[in-house]
Amino acid sequence: MLAAKRGANVVAVDINPNAVRCAVLNAELNGVTCRFDARQGSLFEAVSGLKFTFILFNPPYLPTDESDRANGWLEKAWEGGSTGREIIEKFIEELPNYLEPNGRMLMVLSSLSAPERVIAILTALGFEVAVLEEELLEFERLVILKAVHRNQV
């Protein structure tokens, strides 16, 4: 379990306004002691100009084509485009601009979205990448990636 240190600044971002309200409520109900700010937005748009030492990213990572897509907020949580990496690749493209040197990022991926391709993209951008954990499920393998930012932008 990840926990923020007392006095830390934590910013949570989600495109789903219901998820943002849920995060705020959970922080209140659980007596979060750090400075907690939940914002609605897509990827980094809600944190423009900020830099982070740690980013935790749970992207939509399942491959979906147009016929699979729905219009609800819940579906946005897993709809990753035709490769499953549509949102992930947009995130990675911007990541160096928002992560401090030596900052870390953790991301959950599905084997259905080709984690090896994500690792290759991150490595090409100068990140040190490692697989921290893998879990085999019925139809996929979940992977937790860690990337450390070694290049300054």
81-132 pLDDT tens trace: 778 789 999 999 999 999 999 999 999 999 999 999 999 999 999 999 999 9
Are 142 and 109 spatial neighbours (Cβ–Cβ below 8 Å)? yes
Predicted pLDDT of residue 71: 74
- pTM score of the predicted model: 0.85
- 7: pLDDT confidence band, cut at 50, 70 and 90? low
Question: Which residues belong to CATH 3.40.50.150 in the chain?
Answer: 54-149
Instruction: Give the three-class secondary structure for 8.
Output: coil
**54-149 under CATH 2.40.50.100, yes or no:** no
- 68: pLDDT confidence band, cut at 50, 70 and 90? low
Mean pLDDT for 72-78 is: 67
Look at the block and give the residue holding tokens 């600044």. 9
Distances (CA, A) of 27 to 21, 33, 37, 56, 129: 10, 9, 10, 17, 30
- 2: pLDDT confidence band, cut at 50, 70 and 90? low
